[in-house]
Structure 1
Amino acid sequence: MSSLYPPIKPYKTELLPVSDLHRISVKQFGQESGKPVLFVHGGPGGGCDARDAQRFDPSVYRVILVDQRGSGDSLPPAELRDNTTWDLVADFERVREHVGVDTWHVFGGSWGSTLALAYAQTHPDRVKSLTLRGIFTLRRAELEYFYQGPGTNFLFPDFWEEYLAVIPEEERGDMIKAYYKRLTSPSSSVRASAGRAWSRWEMATSRLQVDPSYLSRADDPAFADAFARIEAHYFVHGGFFERDGWLLEKEQMDRIRHIPARIVQGRYDVVCPAKTAWDLHRAWPEAHFTMVPDAGHSAMEQGIERALLDATNEFAKLD
């Protein structure tokens, strides 16, 4: 199959309390008696879209879309307190228990691949399969390639100038730190300017060709604020991992080696470059690996979309 399944509406939507502060949005699509799959969105801070449910056969799957803390329809929006990788991993366990399933398939792209790996490594007995796209493990070198350079800036110098312009020259030695300072400023105008610039940089570079409609997402102040603030929060804290490269360490990989998995990567992805997916493939040769030759980062590029649908259709056959 090479195109998404038709649009569907959720059969259940709710806000699930996961702490004294946070309530997370949980939407369920497809068959209530179907094979459960957790969709893990990107960002951090990106939120889910109903389109995400269209990657799964609605006659087979029970699709569970969760907006992570501070993201999408979760409340409070753009909240950074009590918002770490391990809070989100714990939230997924709460969701699993809440919806009443013992095990489920897990699907994540970009930051969603990071979080899906962290969840699976923490709860390997709960994961029936992993589908991972646009691999990101939040190593410092990955962050610097995209946000600091040299790296993506050599390919998108025009948009890089916009991204740089918000930060005074004397602070450009650590762009993530400089942006984080502004994205957490008490000034709404400072936050808005930084949020839009940070988001435009990612929207501009996420597809093989710049998509003006996708780029315009950065003009939505609410989206840009949550997306940029939460991303910078996670990145300045190193993803809240014990050490750089922790996800790819042998001890961690051995915990999930038995799980059926597919890794899908765009050859020309400049947001999450192919080296990270290759490193994951080398650490986990048991997982099926697909390098899409004519794609960038976005799940909506044709070759990636086709490979993801192949994965979800294949995993639909698992008992």
Structure 2
Amino acid sequence: MNEFYPEIEPYQHFLMDVDSQHQIYVEQCGNPQGQPVVFLHGGPGGGCSTNDRRFFDPEKYRIILFDQRGCGRSKPHGCLENNETHFLVSDIDAIRKKLGIAKWHVFGGSWGSTLALVYAQTYPEQVKSLVLRGIYLGRSQDTDWSFSGGGATRLCPDYWQQYLAAFPKNMDLSNYSVQMAYDIMTGDDKALALKVAKAWSIWEIRCCTLIPNQAFVDAATGDQQAWTLARHEAHFMVNNCFLSENQILANTDKIKDIPMTIVHGRYDIVCPFDNAWQLHQKLPHSSLIISEASGHASIEPNTKHHLINATKAMLSVA
């Protein structure tokens, strides 16, 4: 079973201006002469972690990570203005140009898979290969599944009830919607906004692993992390991820020639497996690897094993 590569530190990190308001944090790790790969984190609003560097052989890869607008170490923290999918896609390519990279591998999980797919469909000539995990297609049905009383809430009704308990008692939640949560999290009552943001984050992160993992939940739901994860996710969800309905599946012809490995947990509650199945059906030359006994998280043993296998394999892509 593959394990993470050893912990490494960046050999370069900086803040990069992407407009008059936003600066994004960018770092490079591994071998400056290695094959370039960009890591796209989830959320939206999740930010990168030190383990995200460790899916790649540091002797063979030039590993580029960045925190998307408004989250992680990017500034201003929590900013939702000018924070839309097409801006994030432009940021990715601006990083590529700034670093003088002609073509690179792209690795993305969860929301990072959404962003990777939209980026590749926008800039197919710049993408050598794709490794994707926990596919999220950004459709209204995907939001409904996890955050509007869909299948996830039926699988984990106890977790869902604890999430709803964070809302004011006088609110009628019989017609709960993401918009209701978003209005609170972007409202004037900052204490209530943070309470709902934390509850949102705990609900989601608890659903990420097949086996309950409290340490994983605690590490991802501190106040700062919850503030960006929940507010960014709700911001994108109420705006249909700033995509046209079914945009990704409708444009798969643009990326049909890009080598692609899809890794998806069989028992993923956050992003159900049929997302990956539908993508693979549209891209029959892609490789679909079902991570058995796994949910959504990249740290689950089987999923981690398959992802590291995939990064080893993509070194051979010309």
Please indicate, yes or no, whether the TM-score normalized by the shorter chain is above 0.5: yes
Does 1:196 pair with 2:198? yes
Q: Which residue in 1 is equivalent to 2:68?
A: 68
What letter is aligned with 2:89? Answer: V
Residues 85-125 of structure 1: CA deviation (Å, up to 9, x unaligned)? 00000001110001110000000000000000000000000
Does 1:287 pair with 2:290? no
Q: Which residue in 2 is equivalent to 1:239?
A: 241
What letter is aligned with 2:111? Answer: W
Q: Under a length normalisation based on structure 1, what TM-score does the superposition of the two structures give?
A: 0.97
Unpaired segments ≥5 residues, structure 1: none
What letter is aligned with 2:268? Answer: D
Residues 169-202 of structure 1: CA deviation (Å, up to 9, x unaligned)? 5244242111100110122111111111100101
Q: Under a length normalisation based on structure 2, what TM-score does the superposition of the two structures give?
A: 0.97
CA contact (8 A) 1:172 1:178 kept: no
Secondary structure, aligned partner of 1:158: helix
Q: Which residue in 2 is equivalent to 1:307?
A: 306
CA contact (8 A) 1:196 1:218 kept: no
The 3 A distance-change label for structure 1 pair 288 and 101 is same
2:181 to 171, 179, 183: 179
The 3 A distance-change label for structure 1 pair 219 and 84 is closer
What letter is aligned with 2:98? Answer: H
Q: Which residue in 1 is equivalent to 2:104?
A: 104
Q: Structure 2: how far apart are the matches of 1:209 and 1:155?
A: 14
Secondary structure, aligned partner of 2:129: strand
What letter is aligned with 1:131? Answer: V
Q: Structure 2: how far apart are the matches of 1:173 and 1:218?
A: 28
Does 1:10 pair with 2:10? yes
Q: Which residue in 2 is equivalent to 1:316?
A: 315
Pick which of 188-197 and 36-45 moved more. 188-197
Instruction: Please report how far the alpha carbon of residue 149 of structure 1 lies from its aligned counterpart in structure 2 after TM superposition.
Output: 2.1
Q: Which residue in 2 is equivalent to 1:268?
A: 267
Q: Which residue in 2 is equivalent to 1:52?
A: 52
Instruction: Please report how far the alpha carbon of residue 154 of structure 1 lies from its aligned counterpart in structure 2 after TM superposition.
Output: 1.8
Q: Which residue in 2 is equivalent to 1:298?
A: 297
Q: Structure 1: how far apart are the matches of 2:117 and 2:276?
A: 12
Kindly, what percent of the aligned residue pairs are identical? Answer: 40
Q: Structure 2: how far apart are the matches of 1:45 and 1:69?
A: 8
CA contact (8 A) 1:171 1:178 kept: no
CA contact (8 A) 1:217 1:224 kept: no
Q: Structure 1: how far apart are the matches of 2:88 and 2:175?
A: 30
Pick which of 216-225 and 60-69 moved more. 216-225
Q: Which residue in 2 is equivalent to 1:254?
A: 253
Q: Structure 2: how far apart are the matches of 1:74 and 1:218?
A: 17
CA contact (8 A) 1:134 1:266 kept: yes
Q: Equivalent residues in 2 for 1:20-31 (5 A)?
A: 20-31=20-31
Q: Equivalent residues in 2 for 1:136-215 (5 A)?
A: 136-167=136-167, 170-215=172-217
Q: Structure 2: how far apart are the matches of 1:88 and 1:174?
A: 29
Q: Structure 2: how far apart are the matches of 1:119 and 1:219?
A: 28
1:225 to 224, 227, 247: 227
Q: Which residue in 1 is equivalent to 2:125?
A: 125
Instruction: Please report how far the alpha carbon of residue 162 of structure 1 lies from its aligned counterpart in structure 2 after TM superposition.
Output: 1.1
The 3 A distance-change label for structure 1 pair 172 and 121 is farther
